[in-house]
């Protein structure tokens, strides 16, 4: 089943439109999740915005990510997806291209090929330090 969280600031008419469009699909539509971390951990694929915490959590749980960066008000999310994509950590779908047909073609690509990072920086550094000190 797909869980789709629109966010609490989504316009009510958009929520109603999505609710109608997903009525006969295996989709649970909500405004927000009380425990989004558990939802990310249980997922096969995270299709999400490109906030720092969201991407960090998805990568921590070794999830494949299709990130859709926020258009504004700042360039922060667009910069982040450029850096993460450049390192092979995520795939990106820009808002101007986020039509459902594009989402349908990009999601399988994300599921098939991506680098899963080793987020063991502190452990690796401690091991190197131990080796240097002995």
Section 78-84 average pLDDT: 94
Quote the pTM value. 0.73
Residue 111 lies in a domain: yes
More confidently predicted of 102 and 42: 42
What pLDDT score was predicted for residue 109?
67
Residue 129 lies in a domain: yes
Question: Following CA atoms 20, 8, 2, 49 in sequence, which dihedral angle do they give, to the nearest 10 degrees?
Answer: 120
Residue 55's CATH number: 3.40.50.2000
Is a pLDDT exceeding 70 seen at residue 70?
yes
The DSSP secondary-structure symbol of 96 reads: G
pLDDT in tens, 82-101: 999 998 889 898 888 877 77
- Distance CA(92)–CA(94), nearest Å, equals 6
State which residues form the domain around 49: 33-133
Section 19-39 average pLDDT: 89
């Amino acid at each position: 089943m797909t869980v789709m969280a629109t966010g609490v600031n989504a316009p009510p008419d958009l929520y109603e439109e999505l609710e109608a469009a997903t009525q006969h699909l295996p989709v649970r539509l909500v405004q927000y999740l009380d425990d989004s971390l558990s939802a990310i951990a249980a997922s096969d694929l995270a299709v999400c915005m490109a906030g720092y915490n969201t991407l960090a959590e998805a990568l921590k749980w070794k999830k494949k990510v299709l990130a859709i960066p926020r258009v504004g008000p700042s360039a922060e999310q667009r910069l982040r997806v450029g850096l993460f994509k450049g390192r092979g950590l995520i795939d990106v779908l820009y808002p101007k291209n986020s039509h459902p047909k594009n989402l349908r073609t990009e999601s399988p690509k994300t599921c098939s090929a991506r680098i899963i990072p080793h987020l063991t920086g502190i452990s690796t550094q401690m091991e190197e330090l131990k080796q240097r000190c002995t």
